[in-house]
Structure formats: C-alpha cells, structure tokens
A and B are shown apart, each in its own frame.
Chain A
Amino acid sequence: MTIQFKDESFRGDFSYANSPSNIPRFPFPFPEDEYMYSTNIEPHHAARAGSPFENAFDVDEHYVAEMKDRALVLAEDPGRCQALPHMETAGWDFVELVMVSKARDYPDLFKLTIDGDRWHWINKPLQIDDTFTFGDSSTLPCHPMEYIGRQVQGDHAILDQRDGNLWLDAGIITAQADWSLDFDVGMNFFEWHAPVPLAHELGVFQRALKFLLTLPQGQPSRRLNWTLTVNPRLDTSPENYPKWGPDRMTVTPENIGEKVHLRVELQTFWRLPRSNAILFPIRTYLMAMNEVVTQPKWARRIHRVMRDLRPELVEYKGLSRYHPILVEWLSQFDDGAPTSPGIFPD
C-alpha cells in the first residue's frame, strides 16, 4: 500500500481536503438516524480492510500535514504538551506501542529494530532515523511522550489509574475540540468531563469509568465522538478561541457545504504494560459537508440527525449560529428513503 501524503494546511488558506478515494473510508459517526450520548464502546479489532479501523494507529493521506500543524502549535504554546513527573514510564509505554504497531502495520513506512534496550527507529514519511536507549529519556531529544506524540496522528492523553479513578496526568493535545490540557491536567475522570451536559445524568461517565478501570492489556477498545467545525481547523482549542470563534459568523447558505466540517474523533483506549496507565488517543478526522453528501446514505442520515438534535447538544457543541441553515441545506439531500444500519456507506 502506498499513501500519497498531501501538502495541505489546517489554518490560513485552509487547503485541507479529502481525496475522492479517501471519502468512503471516513469514520462516519452515526450508526442510526438519531443521535444521543451513549457509552458506545466496542473492541478495537481490525475491521474492514481500508477502513480507519483496520490498523492499531491509522495512517492516512493527511499524516505529514497533521504533524506539521502539531509542530506549529507546540512552537507557539509549549503548554499543549504536559506530563506530571510520575508519567515518564507511561511515556515509554506509548513509544513502544506506537513503534511496534506502526512497524507491523505499515512496514513500507516505518521500521523498528530492537537489540536489547538499543532501539533503531525509521519513520520514512517524516524523514526520522533515530537510535536511542529504551527507558533512558536522556537519549531522546524530549520527553518520550512528546517524541512519539509528534509522529502519530491525533491527540494523546495518558491516564494514570489510582484510587479507583483515572487521572489526566499527561497529554500532547494540539487538535482538540475546545478543551484545555493546561487547565485539565491532573483532573480525575469526572472532573475533566464536568462541563459536558446531560451525560452525567445519564450515567454515561460512571459506566465508562467502570469499563476503563478493568480494561485489560492487549484488548484495546474504541468509540466515535463528533462535533462540527467551521473550516478544516485542527486547533480549535479554548486558548485560541478568539482566532477560530469568528469563523462561525462566516457561514452562509452559499458556502456552508465547503465551510462546515463534520469533525469525528476516533477514540481508542489501551492499557499500558509497565505503568498500568491508559493511553487515550483522540484521532480527529475532518470532512466538509460537500464531501459527506457524496455518499447518499450519509447525506440522508446526517440531515435527520442534525434536524432532531437535542437543543442542549446544539448549544454545547457550539452549533447555534448556523444550525438552522445547515438543516435547511442538508434537507435537499434527504428524499426520505430508509437508510441501512451501521456507519459504512452503501
């Protein structure tokens, strides 16, 4: 398999777009015609060749451009990457998991040679060729979490487990849907989810925590989460809200198909072997509404989901300003025909 990596931007001229062949593999987040929170966790098994669920850490045509955007964010705001002092071992667990998985799943792109604790890592797309001593952070240019976090798509949080809870004690977070690592680092599972409406009352977080506390090694899980973003901007952090907030004022019926993007997070959960922490990758996929509606099933379904979305969620997800015109625009693609179950296009 050869991937043509795109030269594109997630800011400024927003040249990001999906190739026609990349559209059907988008992780469309709605298995039904209506949406409400649920603890929608399933095993992270290899599923469907070519889908983003085929490999442990999906690499797609946006890999190189996303890593460039991450480097820009970290240069502007080093606080997007933080680890409390007890999280170094977990950082090495993260290095191992990503290197072993990528070298196995994409042998033409990544190569790992292990000789005792001497590791040799080659990342061809990013032109990295490094040798280091596993477990010795002085042999890397930075904290192990940052080192590997700069080479894997998606934000990564690492959750320490103690006192029957999970603690957000480390993370490299540059493509977040409006939450601040700098503010939330050190919080427990309920605290960092505190601002989410409705879900606490539904018991979603209690169930999710119970599940995650007993997550076994070697049996990762996944779920999808979603929001909408105006322009294909990865960095929608609260820190930079004054930069991206005004974008929401720019949506019109004429430009809505290219401006409004479905933003999907493929969240996976991995028990780490040495630290007993949980690695929590939050991989973001962006697709313009014009691209979504090229798949007739998705076009019908997203209209129905948006039309019937609970007002609290419209508000929480920040859609209020353009939600009515989006529903109106999407209605032209919905002929009322039934849709097949599941997320994959017909």
Chain B
Amino acid sequence: MAISTEKLTHILQSFVTSTTDIQGAAVVTPDGLPLAASLPGGMDEERVSAMSAAMLSLGDRIGSELARGGIDRIYVEGDKGYGILTSCGEDAVFLVLADKAAKQGLLLLEIKRTLSDLKAVLM
C-alpha cells in the first residue's frame, strides 16, 4: 500500500490556506510519526505528531474506561486557539490548529469535508 504523501500534503495545504482562522494541520500515524503536515513556522512536525498520537490514545482510553464510547474528536481549547484531533480511520490521526476567532460550526464542517478527502487518499 503506497500512501501518496504528496496528495496528503496538497490536501492539507489547500485546507490551511483556503480556510480562514486555520493555522496548521497534520496527518500522523497512531504511533506518532508524521505522514504529512502544514504547520506554522517553528513548530516541529515530529513533536506535533507524537503529541497528537499520545493525546488521541489517552482520549480513546478515557472513552472506553469512562464509558464514553468510541472517540470521534478531542478538543483542546486554549486562550489563544484550538487544537482539534480527529480520528482518520485506522491508520491516521488528523490534527487541526485553529485561531481563537474561528467559528466552531464552520470549523467542524471544514474538518469533516477534509477528512473524507484524506480518507480517500489513505484507503
């Protein structure tokens, strides 16, 4: 199975540039390695990937141990913005970094749309 990193990167780049208030995005493996990323300068791809994987795996455990079911999404809301982790099938995790000004409904819609693009490439 050859995953096209170029296609993934292209999807991420157009997602980041075409959506207002989105600052960065990455697709990483569940064990924390980068597959593709379009991140703000100064942010280390490898580090971002490892953190995303750790967070999602913990979220998963909270979902099952505390009877919340399968996890769709994890939100980190800070006073400067959001970090949103979405499971992207078996083999990937999708991270989005957004500005505090982002409209949440719009953001979720955009994530959903991009997610299906990404999944198509990852299939």
Is the pairing of A and B real? no
Chain B interface residues (CB < 8 Å from chain A): none
